Amino acid sequence: MKFGKEFVCQMVSEWQEAYMDYDHLKTFLKEIQCIKQRNKQAAAATEPESLTRALTLYRAYSGLIIQRHEHNNPMMMMTSSPSMKDIESSIVVNSVNRNGSHSYETTFLMATTENGGEYEQEFFNRLDNELNKVDRFYRFKVPEVMEEAETLSKQMDALIAFRIKALALQEALFDSMSSDDDDDDPLDVLDHVELHNTLGTPYSVIRSFVNSTEQQKQVTFNRDTLKIVETKLKRAFIQFYHKIGLLKSYSFLNILAFSKIMKKYDKIASRSELTCYMNMVDNTYIGSSDELTKLMERVEVAFIKHFSNSNRRKGMNILRPKAKKEAHIISFFTGGNEIMSVQFSFILTCDKLSLSTNFAGIFCGCTVALTLALVLIIRARHLLNKEGHNQYMETMFPLYSFFAFIFLHIVMYAGNIYYWRRYRINYSFIFGFKQGTALGYMDVLLVSFGVAVLALSSVLMNLDMEMDPKTNDYKALTELLPLGLVLLVIVIVICPLNILYRRSRFFVLYCLFHCICAPLYKVAFQDFFLADQLTSQVQAFRSLEFYICYYGWGDYKLRQNTCNTNDVYDTFYIIVAVIPYWWRFLQCIRRMYEEKDRTQGYNAVRYFMTIVAISTRSAYSLYTGIGWKIIAGITSAIAAIYCIYWDLVVDWGLLQRHSKNRWLRDKLLVPCKTVYFAAMVLNVLLRFAWLQTVLHLKLDFVHQETVITIFASLEIIRRGIWNFFRLENEHLNNVGKYRAFKSVPLPFKYYEHEDGDE
């Protein structure tokens, strides 16, 4: 891989603008090369032919003489080399201080005497600008890291004192320890700290409302609290170490980039300015500072001593970033049949493709084959004309459509991952995935096609449109297939065994639990992002409700139920539709209270309006009537307009009048601007898909359940489009603030201001 591509791959995405613009300088050097070639050709064209030939012969002859002497007489080569080429530098590098800002300037001494010299001077001007930019960023970041190191040092002092006191109390030795003057000092720090309550759990939230402020300051010195404190501080040390590593990598990569670009310049301009310029780079702050190296060593020593029981190997394994491991979904077969093992080993090595890619392709082919088989069977057996067709669509179709919604949503998410990676959107950091655990798009496609294969296989085994003439009912085993399939998916999702992407499954369950418990948990990006996904799965929630009603109170052997005529079912039909919106409403309230952000209050109003709109539309679909129709139309229109504005302006950051890209935003990751306008138009159209409910859109050639499924799928597609631009905007906000790390809550809170009062 060429250095330019490697340089881009190694960049911290959020710091990309702070790196040296290697491609820009490389392009400018190519322009200089073209100019020099044109000048050389023009000079050669004006020289007399005889003189050109003579010079050529002279140069060739001279070269042979020098080469002969060099080979035959080493002593002559050593003495004559200084006289042959004693080249002086053509540049002068100065360090200047303007308006309190330290910068570097390079002067090209031959700018006026050499043809094309002004372009070389422009190259050095641009090179200096890049050096000054890189150096300023590094000067800005290093003190920030040192300040954080000082904060962690204070946290460690408090932890050590906490350990001494907690363990002493546990062993009933605190009185004897406190009498020793040597042990008083480390414990004094506890008089100036309190446990930092981040309201991160339901218990901490409830306790913050029940207990008074003075009671909250009381610290319980026991092993359980000590373990919590150690876990928080350990996580803070790991992230801090990672931050130092990335900043050191930033320094190394940029210095290497300056070396590479100067080598290219020397080659194109036939000069030897690399040493001179790199000497200046080495004397800059980014080239000469060793603060981070020393700090990294101190962090390693402290972490190994206090968090890994002085076991260096164990401590460094925790501190160092771990490379992403290949996802192996065949751990079921570990220690199994040798032939099976050989087959899977062959698949693993074949064409150097990952297992996920191979199995995703297999399941995709199976999905296509099963879909084709389903279509052919329906047409060959004329199932659409059978008497039990309507009954099948009203009972079995809603059960299987649940899997269609899940499949479509996962496929859209796989597409999101593909384009996030293509346009270098750091989705792994935004979602807070642990290093090496983020799934690739092929992994996600594997899951989606696996679900599709299971669902389609179940459908093919349960295509009976008529009862068994002998028993006058349907086969119980095949009728239970949808329920069995749902239970199987649930079991796989919650399975504690280390198979089938356990980390990712548990991550989703962890976020889902936070959504359910809103507003008792601190709201992170991944929590409200998942809740937003669930708002687009209203019909899937209703399908689950139908599962409970159909198999709990219906006669599934006869495909009969009274769900649609049951008042309790109708009530929950409305409730389940607004549950995900209610979660988002509570999350916004929590963020407004915690972050003191008025914008979250406006967002809460948006979700509340959507709850009202969905409730009135659901009521209208159940009870009809002109009154419900008017109310549903008005509330839905207001909510849709509000949501459209929020999607485009707040979530996507578009529709900016004074942007460099008219009606978009200043920074765009997708080169084609038409994509953004097309996405905005499509979002508006799909936001008004609710009109189908109000207008009672019916198609004679399509069953009503199919119409409902189609419009529910359109909302899932809209959400998939929304996902890409939402994360793009979030990523650009992180880039604008050079935010490459999430804040880690520290266990202790100092209140040193009380010292002054004393």
What pLDDT band is residue 367 in, cutting at 50, 70 and 90?
very high
- Residue 704, Ramachandran bin (φ over 0: left; ψ between -120 and 50: alpha; else beta): alpha
What is the SS3 assignment for 108? strand
Residue 267 has pLDDT above 50, yes or no: yes
Report the pLDDT value the prediction gives residue 175, as an integer from 0 to 100.
52
The rounded distance, in Å, linking the Cα atoms of 119 and 83 is: 30
Residue 75 has pLDDT above 50, yes or no: no
Please report, for residues 301, 303, 665, the alpha-carbon distance to residue 309 in angstroms, rounded to integers and kept in the order given: 11, 9, 51
Residue 50 has pLDDT above 80, yes or no: no
Out of 47-56, 173-182, 316-325, 576-585, give the one with best mean pLDDT. Answer: 576-585
What pLDDT band is residue 88 in, cutting at 50, 70 and 90?
low
What pLDDT band is residue 468 in, cutting at 50, 70 and 90?
confident
pLDDT tens digits, one per residue of 498-525 = 888 999 999 999 999 999 998 888 899 9
Instruction: Kindly state the percentage of the chain with pLDDT values over 90.
Output: 46
Q: What is the mean pLDDT of residues 551-564?
A: 88
What is the SS3 assignment for 290? coil
Report the pLDDT value the prediction gives residue 338, as an integer from 0 to 100.
40
For residue 230, report the phi and psi dihedrals to the nearest 5 degrees: -65, -40
- More confident site: 261 or 353: 261
Q: Name 195's bridge partners.
A: 748
Tokens read off for 163: 């350990």
Q: Are 164 and 183 in contact (CB under 8 A)?
A: yes
Q: ∠6-8-14 over CA atoms, to 5°?
A: 145
Report the pLDDT value the prediction gives residue 652, as an integer from 0 to 100.
96
pLDDT tens digits, one per residue of 653-676 = 999 988 999 899 999 999 999 999
Residue 360 has pLDDT above 60, yes or no: yes
107-116, 150-159, 163-172, 687-696: range with lowest mean pLDDT: 163-172
Report the pLDDT value the prediction gives residue 227, as an integer from 0 to 100.
86
CB atoms within 10 A of CB 403: 22
Tokens read off for 8: 């881009």
Report the pLDDT value the prediction gives residue 738, as an integer from 0 to 100.
80
Report the pLDDT value the prediction gives residue 182, as an integer from 0 to 100.
45
pLDDT tens digits, one per residue of 58-74 = 444 334 443 434 433 43
Q: What is the mean pLDDT of residues 347-367?
A: 69
Report the pLDDT value the prediction gives residue 561, as an integer from 0 to 100.
87
> What is the overall mean pLDDT for the chain?
82
Q: Are 669 and 734 in contact (CB under 8 A)?
A: no
The rounded distance, in Å, linking the Cα atoms of 64 and 52 is: 19
pTM comes to 0.81
Residue 40 has pLDDT above 80, yes or no: no
Between helix 502-516 and helix 525-535 the angle, nearest 10°, is: 80
Give alpha helix (H) positions in 270-354.
Answer: 274-283, 285-288, 291-307, 312-319, 338-349
